[in-house]
Every structure is written in C-alpha cells, then in structure tokens.
C-alpha cells in the first residue's frame, strides 16, 4: 500500500481507483480501436483528407466546443442523476454517428455539435457520480478539460505529455475563464479568455475529431460503421472523464501533491 507523505495511509479501495484511473488516462487506445473498425491505420487515411478539410474540421470543432462551454455554464443541472448513464449517451452518439458515416465530412457541422453536446452531458453525469458539485462553476469547467484529453497537441513535446501535464497547461486558462464568467454570468465567443481556453482544448480535441471524421468517411464504413465509431468516440471521453474525476475526488481527500506523487509511482511500476 502506498504511504502518504503526510502520514495518511491510502485505503486499498482508493488505491485501486487511482490505479484504474491511471490506466484509463495514460492508455486511451482510441486510434487502435477505430483502426480495427476501419481495417486501415488511421495515420495513413489522414493523409488522404481533401484540401481545406483541416480548416473545416477546425472551425466546426471550435463551434462545437463553444456549445459545450455554454452548456457547462448555463444548462447543466447540478441536481441531475448521481448515477451516470453511459449506455444512453452512447446510443445517442451512435445515432449521430450514423449521419456522419452516411454523409462523411459534409455532415460534420450537424453531427459534431450533437455528439459534443451528448459527450458533455455524459461527462457531467460522471462528474456528479464522483462527488463534484456542479452548482459551482469550477467543476463545470473541469468537465471541459476532458475534451483536451482526446489527443496530443502539435505543440506538445515529451515534457508536456501525460494527464497532469494537460491539466497544468490548462490551469491558467480555466482559472481566467472561471473568473470571467463568474463576473459576467455570460459567455462571449470573442472574449480573449474564452478564446484562449477554447484554443488550448481544441488543439488536442481536434486531433481525435480528425481521426473520427476520416474513419467515418471511408467508403466501406457507411452509416452502421459510423455509428460504431461514434460509440467508440464517446466511450473514449467517458473513460477520460472517469479517470479525471476519480483523480479529483482523491485530491479532495488526500491533497493534490499526494495524489500526483502516488500517480507517478503507479506509472513507474
């Protein structure tokens, strides 16, 4: 059993929870799962994107994340179910993914905002189940951090990889956005603090969105395969949310420095 530096011993249940969280957060495996469905490495298919597709994906990703910000600030019910409903959200995502599989990149402006909203609601369910008080703005914006756990940024290097590195990179932007929204009680798309937050999240979320859209656009995939890929897509973020909010729950009990230390010790074994 891991001993705490402040004398507080970890319970076996909490240690098991942290170990499971590390497994989810550090080994997401989405690309491999999607490649199995498509039958071709996603890295290869990405090279076949038509000219201008990257710009379109970036714009729709930004708009979808902005919708998630508004959802986080305005409409998440803090009194919702304490038990998450992952299957229900996966079914909804699958329906939206069928559209993407049938029509490919053309359907992106319709399908991705729907899928992102479903994912956001599922993340909120998971947050509540781990004891987060969603009547407070801080935990609501913590839900947004999950979208940044989708994939690496082009600006990442070896010193900036991993779960805690992503949280550290986002910390200032999330803090500024929390203060801004708390003062104004409104989200303005062009506000510098919101722009910075969305840019940092989108840099990582965009990578996984690109992989998803490319996979759904493969001719052999079709609507059924598109639905399957979208279910894998939401399952990925549900796993990231579970890991994220398990860690936050344990931080409330043991303190952030101690959880970071234990997290690093688990990774090193």
Q: Model confidence at 259, in pLDDT bands (50, 70, 90)?
A: very high
d(CA 14, CA 36): 34
Q: Which residues contact 188 (CB under 8 A, 6 or more apart)?
A: 194
In a domain, 228, yes or no: yes
pLDDT value, residue 261: 94
pLDDT tens sequence across 210-219: 777 666 655 5
Q: Between these two residues, 180 and 78, which has the higher pLDDT value?
A: 180
**Is 8 contained in some domain?**
no
In this structure, are residues 94 and 230 in contact, taking their beta carbons and an 8 Å threshold? Answer: yes
Q: Is the pLDDT of residue 158 over 50?
A: no
pLDDT score of 117: 87
| pLDDT value of position 205 | 87
As a whole number, the mean pLDDT across the chain is 78
Residue 185 has pLDDT above 70, yes or no: no
Q: DSSP states of 20-58 as a string?
A: HHHHHHH---HHHHHHHHHTS-HHHHHTTPPTTHHHHHH
Inter-residue contact 213 to 100 (CB < 8 Å): yes
pLDDT digits (tens, 9 = 90+) for 24-58: 998 766 666 666 655 555 555 556 666 667 787 78
Tens of pLDDT, residues 214-234: 666 555 455 456 677 778 888
> Distance (Å, rounded) from C-alpha 243 to C-alpha 126?
10
Vertex 228: Cα angle to 126 and 113 (nearest 5)? 60
Q: Which of 86, 107, 117, 131 is nearest to 235 (CA)?
A: 86
In-domain check, residue 43: no
| Tokens 């796993």 found at | 239
Query: Residue 221 falls within a domain, yes or no?
Result: yes
**248: in domain:** no
pLDDT per residue over 5-24, tens digit each?
555 799 999 999 999 999 99
Tell me what the mean pLDDT of segment 231-244 comes to. Answer: 90
Asked if residue 143 belongs to a domain, the reply is: yes
pLDDT at 220: 47
Work out how many domains the chain is built from and give that number. Answer: 1
Answer whether 66's CB lies under 8 Å from 116's CB. Answer: no
**pLDDT level of residue 88 (50, 70, 90 thresholds):** low
Phi, psi of 5 (to 5 degrees): -70, -20
More confident residue, 165 or 108: 165
pLDDT band at 106 (very low <50, low <70, confident <90, very high): low
pLDDT, residue 96, reads: 53
User: Does the residue 140 lie in any domain?
Assistant: yes
Q: Tell me if 79 is assigned to some domain.
A: yes
Provide the pLDDT for residue 159. 43
Structural domain containing residue 165? 48-240
pLDDT of residue 240: 93
Rounded Cα gap, residues 30 and 128, in angstroms? 25
Q: Are residues 187 and 181 in contact, defined by beta-carbon separation less than 8 angstroms?
A: yes
Percent of the chain with pLDDT over 90: 28
pLDDT classification of 162: cutoffs 50, 70, 90: confident
Q: What is the largest CA-CA distance in the chain?
A: 59
String of DSSP letters for 75-91 = I--TTS-SS--HHHHHH
Q: What is the pLDDT of residue 239?
A: 92
Higher pLDDT, 65 or 28: 65
Report residue 243's pLDDT band, with 50, 70 and 90 as the boundaries. very high
């Amino acid at each position: 059993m891991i001993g705490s530096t402040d004398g507080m011993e970890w319970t076996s249940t909490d240690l098991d929870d942290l170990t499971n969280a590390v497994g989810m957060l550090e080994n997401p495996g989405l690309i491999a799962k999607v490649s199995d469905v498509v039958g071709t490495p996603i890295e290869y298919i990405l090279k076949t994107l038509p000219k201008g597709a990257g710009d379109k994906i970036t714009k729709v990703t930004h708009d979808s994340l902005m919708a998630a910000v508004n959802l986080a600030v305005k409409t998440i019910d803090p009194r919702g179910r304490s038990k998450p409903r992952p299957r229900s959200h996966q079914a909804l995502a699958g329906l939206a993914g069928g559209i993407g599989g049938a029509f490919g990149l053309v359907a992106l402006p319709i399908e991705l905002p729907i899928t992102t909203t479903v994912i956001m609601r599922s993340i909120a369910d998971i947050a509540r189940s781990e004891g987060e008080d969603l009547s407070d703005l801080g935990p609501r914006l913590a839900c947004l951090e999950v979208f940044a756990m989708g994939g690496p940024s082009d600006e990442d290097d070896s010193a900036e990889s991993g779960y805690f590195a992503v949280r550290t990179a986002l910390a200032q932007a999330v803090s500024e956005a929390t203060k801004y929204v708390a003062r104004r009680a409104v989200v303005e798309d062009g506000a510098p603090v919101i722009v910075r937050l969305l840019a940092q999240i989108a840099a990582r979320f965009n990578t996984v969105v690109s992989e998803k859209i490319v996979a759904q656009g493969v001719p052999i995939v079709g609507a059924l395969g598109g639905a399957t890929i979208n279910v894998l897509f939401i399952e990925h973020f549900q796993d990231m949310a579970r890991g994220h909010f398990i860690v936050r729950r344990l931080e409330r009990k043991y303190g952030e420095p101690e959880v970071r230390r234990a997290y690093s010790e688990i990774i090193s074994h």
